[in-house]
A and B are shown apart, each in its own frame.
Chain A
């Protein structure tokens, strides 16, 4: 075992004084023209994870007035002929920027297996644990010029360094999780500790770290060092987390609930140049009273999702940022006795926008009742191919290396969804 989660809790004690230990922001060294060019060349991802599973029938693939269609209406979007659920009115206005795959068909109907399988791209089993998409992108694209960790996860509840996401890539490609969008506790140097004392402590720590590393596996010490480096990076960007300084209009547009605040922070992180930002919303597993649940939940996704697409567009960033809204599965067409929808990997939808995507496109379809994929089904491996292509990474030419072992970055028997690629 590499280390325990407690070893990676982001607290001041663990982070003290790593200033200078990380790559300096290129933006700080480059001329304005070069900095602007670097910004334009960024490859970034916003990955919105609706944990538990959003219903395709109340979002991207409505089937109104059919046996499993539920109570809601479909509405027109900005793309003639394309309709989505009335619960996503803001996304409907931006449909020309969105690409929806309605023929997603995956393998697991349990959360425990499904979450990992989707996030890791469900490659062929080669006896190794594949990285989550965020870790993979962090490895393949790198940290860029942000001076921040390449993989940042904004989530409710607690934060920390989530090394398990990185799989065989090693802990340094794990996620820095910002619990409730907040920086780690006690991140900043206490006022009573002088900078000189702080530097001295750090030197001592580095010395101890080096001694410790001599007798241990590289992965174990690498993660430890990486955590200190991340802390130092965050210390330099602490103002990022103060959303109260943003215009009230922005806060209203995104919403003051968790998902709204976290999406607004995601925008800030993307603006700052973070390569991969994941935003998680929990509570989408609506087995009971689903339709009232959807009436409450879906608009709380819709508003900040549309707001961030708009903002990325207005800032010229949609050419750089691939946006993905995804979950571990959709929800059953069949409405159960407590008026819920259960888990449904058979035929569901994923929505994307931005870098490498054609806007205003719907690829694949389900049958009239939404119970079967009516075109070629797209498994998560196909979506990984699509996402890598959108980022300019060709899975045919790119491999991971795991101690010399070449490993494909996506399931080699699957293909990208060409209809949604620009």
Chain B
């Protein structure tokens, strides 16, 4: 494994499309690979978790996990001991948390894990606990194997994201107002807060932005808080912003997008070669993926095929990524007619890409 990231975006080392995109007939909020890289799942706006077997030459769609309401907001895999088996965890915007087997069979469900929109989902490093946070301002921990409730912390404001430190000491929770709350995982006690206030703006009466994503580097030394520097509400003009902190909250470096048409950083993945892969939402027709090495002034790769990117998943070896985006011409005032005269929904093409070595 190389320790150097790929060089500048050139035809030689730029990510290459792998086949045609998967096109679920709905929009997608999250995509994730299974720990062995053979399964790709997508959390969808129609309350399903769609699954594809990507182990062969062509992806094969498998039966979806159903039963969620509203939007499925998060999905993640967890490797558990063989007697329990690997699991897929998913949350929705009506407050539900569900654990399913890899084959899609549901094992347990907490119907009202939160009062409404579950924003964040993460797993503890020891695989014992699943953490969720929500619009209700609460962080909850659940026993991963059974769904039995563990600890509950009330922080108050809308909580958008969360991540565990790899050493299992701290749980980081990002809120709507640009604050990262650091909690002691064992006790639930607040340890400190980390300020990323530029990720928030009160525009007229609208709260805009917040810490939409949190991630730690594999060694746990660097915390990444991401979203955007909002310029306005309504249309939401904002410049993507990803800030790297050390564990004490000291700022190390940041990636900032080029302009306020690029939107939010919508998802993050940590590449084993030591860099961040992110996606941005963008204004109509914009949004992309980017590769950024902490400390650099700019991304060393930017790209994309479809606009308005909402999630990125990295395969375990770091050689393939999946990016979910949006079909072209997704916006427009008034009645848009489909080819059959119908009123069409938008969808989220999921494109697989090679992630080249340096």
B339 within 8 A of A: no
A340 within 8 A of B: yes
Which chain A residues border B331 with CB–CB below 8 Å?
287, 336-338, 340, 342
Question: In the complex the two chains form, is A338's CB within 8 Å of B281's CB?
Answer: yes
Question: In the complex the two chains form, is A285's CB within 8 Å of B235's CB?
Answer: yes
Question: In the complex the two chains form, is B334's CB within 8 Å of A67's CB?
Answer: no
B174 within 8 A of A: no
Interface string of A249-276 (1 = CB under 8 A from B): 0000000011100000000000000000
Given known A67-B345, A336-B330, A343-B333, contact A52–B234 (CB-CB < 8 A) = yes
Which chain B residues border A68 with CB–CB below 8 Å?
345
B90 within 8 A of A: no
The stretch that binds B, out of A119-127, A132-140, A222-230, A291-299, is: A291-299
Provide the bound-state CA to CA distance between A173 and B233, in Å. 33
Given known A259-B205, A345-B334, contact A71–B93 (CB-CB < 8 A) = yes
Question: In the complex the two chains form, is B334's CB within 8 Å of A335's CB?
Answer: no
In the complex, which of the residues B73, B117, B236, B327 contacts A340, with contact meaning CB atoms closer than 8 Å? B236
Which chain A residues border B343 with CB–CB below 8 Å?
333-334, 369, 371
In the complex, which of the residues A65, A283, A287, A343 contacts B204, with contact meaning CB atoms closer than 8 Å? A283
Question: In the complex the two chains form, is A332's CB within 8 Å of B333's CB?
Answer: yes
A86 within 8 A of B: yes
Central interface residue in B73, B206, B207, B332, by most chain A CB within 10 Å: B206
B208 within 8 A of A: yes
Interface string of A339-382 (1 = CB under 8 A from B): 11011111000000000000000000000010100000000000
Question: In the complex the two chains form, is A285's CB within 8 Å of B234's CB?
Answer: yes
Central interface residue in A293, A369, A371, by most chain B CB within 10 Å: A293
B contact patch SS: loop
Interface string of A66-84 (1 = CB under 8 A from B): 0111111100000000000
Question: In the complex the two chains form, is A64's CB within 8 Å of B264's CB?
Answer: no
Central interface residue in A68, A70, A337, A371, by most chain B CB within 10 Å: A337
Provide the bound-state CA to CA distance between A194 and B343, in Å. 69
The residue on B at minimum CB distance from A289 is: B236
Question: In the complex the two chains form, is A288's CB within 8 Å of B263's CB?
Answer: yes
| Nearest CB on B from A316, distance (A) | 30
Which chain A residues border B332 with CB–CB below 8 Å?
332, 336, 342
The residue on B at minimum CB distance from A259 is: B205
Question: In the complex the two chains form, is B335's CB within 8 Å of A346's CB?
Answer: yes
Provide the bound-state CA to CA distance between A109 and B26, in Å. 25
Which chain B residues border A342 with CB–CB below 8 Å?
331-334
B308 within 8 A of A: yes
Interface string of A307-345 (1 = CB under 8 A from B): 000000000000000000000000011111111101111
A110 within 8 A of B: yes
A395 within 8 A of B: no
Given known A287-B235, A339-B281, contact A65–B69 (CB-CB < 8 A) = yes
Interface string of B135-156 (1 = CB under 8 A from A): 1000000000000000000000
| Nearest CB on B from A349, distance (A) | 17
A contact patch SS: loop
Question: In the complex the two chains form, is A336's CB within 8 Å of B235's CB?
Answer: no
A411 within 8 A of B: no
Question: In the complex the two chains form, is B327's CB within 8 Å of A73's CB?
Answer: no
Given known A285-B234, A300-B205, contact A73–B330 (CB-CB < 8 A) = no
Residues of chain B from 17 to 55 with CB closer than 8 A to chain A in the complex: 26-27, 45-47
The residue on B at minimum CB distance from A87 is: B116
Residues of chain B from 198 to 218 with CB closer than 8 A to chain A in the complex: 203-208, 210
Which chain B residues border A296 with CB–CB below 8 Å?
205-208
In the complex, which of the residues B47, B116, B310 contacts A65, with contact meaning CB atoms closer than 8 Å? B47
Instruction: Count residues of A near B (Cβ-Cβ below 8 Å).
Output: 48
In the complex, which of the residues B27, B264, B285, B334 contacts A346, with contact meaning CB atoms closer than 8 Å? B334
Question: In the complex the two chains form, is B205's CB within 8 Å of A337's CB?
Answer: no
B172 within 8 A of A: no
Which chain A residues border B237 with CB–CB below 8 Å?
288
Question: In the complex the two chains form, is A337's CB within 8 Å of B233's CB?
Answer: no
A166 within 8 A of B: no
Question: In the complex the two chains form, is B345's CB within 8 Å of A334's CB?
Answer: yes
Which chain B residues border A86 with CB–CB below 8 Å?
116
Which chain A residues border B326 with CB–CB below 8 Å?
336-337
Central interface residue in A65, A72, A287, A292, by most chain B CB within 10 Å: A292
A167 within 8 A of B: no
Question: In the complex the two chains form, is A338's CB within 8 Å of B308's CB?
Answer: yes
Question: In the complex the two chains form, is A338's CB within 8 Å of B287's CB?
Answer: yes
Given known A64-B69, A288-B236, contact A283–B205 (CB-CB < 8 A) = yes
Given known A72-B93, A293-B236, A295-B135, contact A338–B283 (CB-CB < 8 A) = yes
B336 within 8 A of A: yes
Question: In the complex the two chains form, is A337's CB within 8 Å of B346's CB?
Answer: yes
Which chain B residues border A284 with CB–CB below 8 Å?
234
Closest 9 A-B residue pairs measured CB to CB? A337-B308, A337-B326, A71-B93, A288-B236, A336-B331, A337-B330, A343-B333, A283-B204, A109-B334
- Which positions in A face B, CB cutoff 8 Å? 52, 64-65, 67-73, 86, 109-110, 156, 257-259, 281-289, 292-293, 295-297, 300, 332-340, 342-346, 369, 371
Given A288-B263, A292-B208, 13 more contacts at CB 8 Å? Answer: A65-B47, A72-B93, A109-B333, A282-B204, A288-B237, A288-B283, A289-B236, A295-B117, A296-B205, A334-B336, A336-B346, A339-B281, A369-B343
Chosen A-B contacts, 10 in total, with CB atoms closer than 8 Å, are A71-B117, A282-B204, A285-B234, A288-B281, A292-B208, A334-B336, A334-B345, A338-B263, A338-B308, A371-B343
